[in-house]
Amino acid sequence: MLENYLEVKDSVRRALAEGRPVVALESTIISHGMPYPQNVETARKVEQIIREHGAEPATIAIIGGKIKVGLSDSELEYLGRSGKVVKTSRRDIPFVIAGKADGATTVAATMIIAALAKIKVFVTGGIGGVHRGAQQTMDISADLEELAHTNVAVVCAGAKSILDLALTLEYLETRGVPVVGYRTDELPAFYTRKSGFEVDYRVDSLPELAAAVKAKWELGLNGGLVIANPIPEEYQMDGDVINKAIEAALAEAEKEKISGKELTPYLLAKIKDITGGDSLSSNVQLIYNNAAVGADLAVELA
């Protein structure tokens, strides 16, 4: 039944069949996270980094109603250029498929599809979370619920700093999701290495991290893990600069009445404009860094 919906790229299929490491990648970063052509260039470079570290990349998307686990170069280009790709989370998957539409998968949707394909490690920029003002709006990313019950380890630079990080951590704690700092005691805040919030556990070696991931799932403790990997120091932004940019972008979003799935892409684009492109440069570098750590973790697990 699953083969009716899932199309696995040959190189990914072979790697999985042979027990070799595979790393899942999302596609909203291509269609909704960055401008063309930088989005496609970044996606290609991320895949290259993963291969250089000994794993097989599997960028996930829905094209023409078919779930793709691993994209060709032309499909990456298509996603980056097309302006008609649906930002696809859990609730959207069946409708994008039924409508034979194109969908770029969020963290939540990528986790679901990675788990269906039996891929254990997923690399992204930053996870979604509890939005600022959620006490009134109830705007909480579906990423957090997916982390609560889908067995995929998510390597990221923490939660996006446009969010309420304190409430995001509280939500993850309630749902039993470990937030693991890779070589850090503090939750990274996407563009910066510091947030002021401690992680649940610090792990300094990949063998130790892989052992914890393995033990979690072999004990039947279902759900994902947040592997928080700080942006390299030389690429992080000044905390005051980025926080002022975020506040200005949030004010603009409120003025324009932007909400729901459009909010995060709007804020990231607005922050890029306010910072003169510096935030986008940091975003690209943290993804490259996550790709290297995610590939190394996948190799260790394999």
Asked about 41 being catalytic, the answer comes back as: no
User: For residue range 103-128, what is the model confidence (pLDDT) as tens digits?
Assistant: 999 999 999 999 999 999 999 999 99
Could you say which residues of the chain have pLDDT below 70?
261
What pLDDT sits at residue 166?
95
What are the structural domains, with CATH classification, of the chain? 2-301 (3.40.1790.10)
Q: Could you say which of 9, 26, 47, 87 is catalytic?
A: 26
What pLDDT sits at residue 209?
98
Asked about 118 being catalytic, the answer comes back as: no
What pLDDT sits at residue 110?
98
What pLDDT sits at residue 245?
87
What pLDDT sits at residue 6?
95
Unique residue bearing structure tokens 């600069």: 241
What pLDDT sits at residue 44?
98
Q: Could you say which of 68, 160, 270, 272 is catalytic?
A: 160
What pLDDT sits at residue 13?
98
DSSP letter for each residue of the chain: -GGGTEEE-HHHHHHHHTT--EEEE-SHHHHTSS-TTHHHHHHHHHHHHHHHTT-EEEEEEEETTEEEES--HHHHHHHHH-S--EEE-GGGHHHHHHTT--EEE-HHHHHHHHHHTT--EEE-S-B--BBTTHHHH--B-HHHHHHHH---EEEESBB-TTB-HHHHHHHHHHTT--EEEES-SB--BTTBS--S-B-SEEE--HHHHHHHHHHHHHTT--S-EEEE-PPPGGGPPPHHHHHHHHHHHHHHHHHTT--GGGHHHHHHHHHHHHTTTHHHHHHHHHHHHHHHHHHHHHHHH-
What pLDDT sits at residue 271?
83
Q: Say whether pTM exceeds 0.85.
A: yes
